[in-house]
């Protein structure tokens, strides 16, 4: 009878989204043969076990913790606590990771120089299967791979073990059927940012929270204390920010649906290129017609020959008002590593009624720098934050058409200004921001500095004093930006 109840739960949670996996897991729960289970799912490379269910493969397995259950944000992404995980790989696996990255970058771990970072080309770093431990439970055969562009390159050259990485909990389900549809409290994938260029260690999380407070969907985040065994014993690798993937649970959670196409482009949208318009779901439907239409409408000659018709066509396929609100928030807080300067760090979701909606991504270098009300493209020398877009965006050229063409319209430009004024008044207040910063600083401080803090070779902090001082820098940044925004939109 217990197994029948488990079977009903499986069909309730999984039946509509992944019938093949549901039948496979159902066969396991009911104690049927491995042969039947294999016949009901995608081709298995290596059966590797003869147990009747996943529980026998991993005694810690429960549907809530390891299965494809409803996402448990309170456990995986707590807002008032810091989680701790341990990741274990063999020395051979670490050697294979190093060889894989060397094949792309051309250098060994800890050696400066080399070619482009792994994320700059079509080939992503390879996964290895590791063991993960959290709150007394074990997740077996979890996919682990390094990720990132400049952050990974910097860490690799330095030989810094605080590496950016991603986890995919069912990456190896074909090789190890015992982890079929394995999740982490309802999450299939998670990204871990090490805060390599952020001495405060809280920018990634605080910025994502600010976007959502302003009504801009953004990935949920949480702080994690991460320890990794690279084959020679467990080592503390520091404070990370865990980030949910938009194509995992975020879209359904924040939009109430997930059937539309999700893209992660890496281009400035002057033309369409399917290779750089990475499709994150609905892969079996090869059509990119909606994305092609967006780029075509954006760059249509109607923009100059019949502006009213061009605006109507663009609004029919793209949520312009939402994008203007995003721009207002992004420019007010300062976020240089984003569209307008860099052709990456955004997602597009094709909503059933709102059509394409802009989703910001990767915020570890936000809230740095002080661009003014007007600016010059590139901003000259200085740190990246000084090259961020000005509030008026007067310097943006047609190389960034989604900004330039939209703000050329006086009505839309006024909407942008209105959004920025409302953001300053209702969200970007000193009281709210400083309280948030204090809270997050308090969460990570015991794990960043002091006896339980980060150690040389596993940190990017120049010193404990640098970490402490950055909290004051963040607060001063808010004060200065609020003053500038008030001048621009009094």
Domain boundary among 215, 244, 273: 244
- What confidence tens digit (pLDDT) does each residue in 431-474 have? 999 999 999 999 999 999 999 999 999 999 999 999 999 999 99
Quick one: pLDDT at residue 454? 98
- Do 97 and 19 share a structural domain? no
- Do 238 and 95 share a structural domain? yes
Q: Is residue 13 part of a domain?
A: yes
C-alpha to C-alpha distance for 81 and 442, rounded to whole angstroms: 10
Residue 263 CA neighbour count, 13 Å, CB half = 28
- Report the alpha-carbon angle 122-140-110, nearest 5: 50
- Do 217 and 303 share a structural domain? no
* Structural domains in the chain (count): 3
- Do 87 and 232 share a structural domain? yes
Q: What is the DSSP string of 320-382?
A: HHHHHHHHHHHHHH---SSTTTSS-SEEEEEETTTEEEEEE---TT-S-----SS--TT-SSS
Quick one: pLDDT at residue 287? 87
Q: Is residue 441 part of a domain?
A: no
- Do 126 and 22 share a structural domain? no
- Do 150 and 299 share a structural domain? no
Element (H, E) at 142: strand 137-146
The phi and psi torsions of 53 (rounded to 5 degrees) equal -155, 170
- Do 225 and 260 share a structural domain? no
Q: Is residue 356 part of a domain?
A: yes
C-alpha to C-alpha distance for 320 and 415, rounded to whole angstroms: 10
- Do 231 and 269 share a structural domain? no
Q: CA dist 294 to 103, 129, 342, 405, 448, Å?
A: 36, 39, 19, 13, 44
Q: Is residue 272 part of a domain?
A: yes
- Do 263 and 168 share a structural domain? no
- Do 318 and 223 share a structural domain? no
Q: What is the DSSP string of 75-112?
A: HHS-SSS-EEEEEE--HHHHHHHHHHHHHHHSS-TT--
Q: Is residue 140 part of a domain?
A: yes
Model pTM score: 0.88
Dihedral over alpha carbons 439, 443, 444, 449 (to 10 degrees): 100
Quick one: pLDDT at residue 23? 40
Range of the domain at 204: 73-244
Q: What is the DSSP string of 196-261?
A: TT-TTS-HHHHHHHHHHHTT-----EEEEEEEEE-SSSEEEEEEEEEEE-IIIIIHHHHHS---S-
Quick one: pLDDT at residue 16? 35
Strand pairing report for 262-265 and 277-279: antiparallel
Quick one: pLDDT at residue 286? 72
Mean pLDDT by 10 residues, the chain (490 residues): 37 38 40 33 38 77 96 98 98 97 89 59 83 98 94 93 98 96 98 97 98 98 98 98 96 95 96 94 84 98 98 98 98 96 96 97 95 79 69 97 98 98 98 98 98 97 97 98 98
Strand pairing report for 83-88 and 221-229: parallel
Sheet holding 277-279, edge to edge: 277-279, 262-265, 346-351, 355-360
Domain boundary among 391, 426, 461: 426
- Do 403 and 298 share a structural domain? yes
Q: Is residue 14 part of a domain?
A: yes
- Do 349 and 386 share a structural domain? yes
C-alpha to C-alpha distance for 297 and 317, rounded to whole angstroms: 9
Q: What is the DSSP string of 248-265?
A: IIIHHHHHS---S-EEEE
Q: Is residue 21 part of a domain?
A: yes
Q: Is residue 101 part of a domain?
A: yes
Residue 18: Cβ within 10 Å count: 16
C-alpha to C-alpha distance for 285 and 122, rounded to whole angstroms: 20
Domain boundary among 426, 451, 483: 426
Are 54 and 178 in contact, with CB atoms under 8 Å apart? yes
């Amino acid at each position: 009878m217990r197994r029948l109840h488990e079977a009903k739960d499986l069909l309730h949670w999984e039946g509509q989204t992944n019938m093949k996996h549901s039948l496979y897991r159902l066969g396991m729960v009911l104690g049927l043969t491995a042969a039947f289970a294999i016949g009901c799912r995608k081709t298995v490379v290596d059966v590797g076990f003869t147990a009747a269910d996943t529980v026998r493969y991993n005694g810690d397995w429960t549907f809530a913790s390891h299965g494809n259950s409803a996402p448990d944000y309170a456990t995986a992404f707590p807002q008032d606590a810091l989680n701790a995980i341990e990741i274990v790989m063999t020395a051979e696996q670490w050697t294979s990771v190093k060889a894989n990255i060397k094949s792309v970058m051309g250098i060994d771990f800890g050696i400066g120089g080399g070619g482009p970072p792994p994320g700059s080309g079509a080939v992503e770093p390879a996964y290895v299967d590791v063991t993960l431990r959290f709150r007394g439970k074990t997740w077996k055969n979890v996919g682990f791979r390094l990720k990132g562009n400049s952050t990974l390159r910097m860490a690799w050259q330095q030989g810094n073990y605080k590496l950016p990485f991603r986890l995919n909990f069912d990456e190896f389900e074909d090789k190890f059927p015992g982890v079929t549809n394995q999740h982490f409290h309802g999450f299939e994938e998670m990204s871990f940012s090490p805060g390599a260029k952020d001495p405060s260690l809280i920018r990634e999380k605080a910025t994502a929270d600010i976007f959502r407070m302003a009504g801009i969907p953004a990935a949920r985040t949480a702080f994690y204390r991460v320890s990794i065994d690279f084959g020679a014993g467990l080592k503390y690798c520091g404070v990370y920010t865990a980030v949910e993937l938009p194509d995992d649970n975020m879209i359904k959670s924040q939009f109430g649906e997930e059937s539309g196409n999700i893209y992660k482009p890496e281009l400035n949208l002057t033309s369409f290129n399917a290779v750089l318009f990475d499709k994150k779901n609905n892969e079996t439907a090869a059509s990119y017609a909606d994305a092609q239409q967006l780029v075509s409408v954006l760059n249509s000659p109607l923009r100059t020959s019949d502006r009213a018709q061009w605006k109507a066509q663009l609004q029919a396929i793209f949520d312009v008002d939402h994008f203007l609100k995003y721009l207002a928030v992004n420019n007010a807080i300062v976020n240089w590593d984003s569209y307008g300067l860099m052709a990456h760090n955004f997602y597009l979701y094709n909503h059933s009624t709102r059509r394409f909606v802009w989703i910001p991504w990767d915020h570890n270098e936000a809230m740095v720098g002080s661009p003014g009300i007007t600016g010059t493209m590139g901003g000259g020398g200085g740190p990246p934050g000084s090259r961020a877009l000005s509030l008026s965006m007067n310097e943006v050229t047609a190389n960034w058409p989604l900004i330039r063409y939209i703000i050329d319209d006086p009505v839309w430009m006024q909407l942008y200004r209105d959004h920025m004024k409302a953001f300053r008044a209702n969200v970007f207040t000193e009281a709210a921001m400083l309280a948030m910063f204090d809270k997050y600083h308090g969460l990570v401080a015991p794990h960043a500095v002091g006896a339980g803090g980060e150690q040389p070779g596993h940190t990017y902090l120049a010193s404990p004093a640098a970490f402490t001082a950055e909290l004051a820098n963040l607060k001063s940044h808010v004060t200065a930006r609020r003053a500038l925004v008030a001048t621009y939109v009094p």
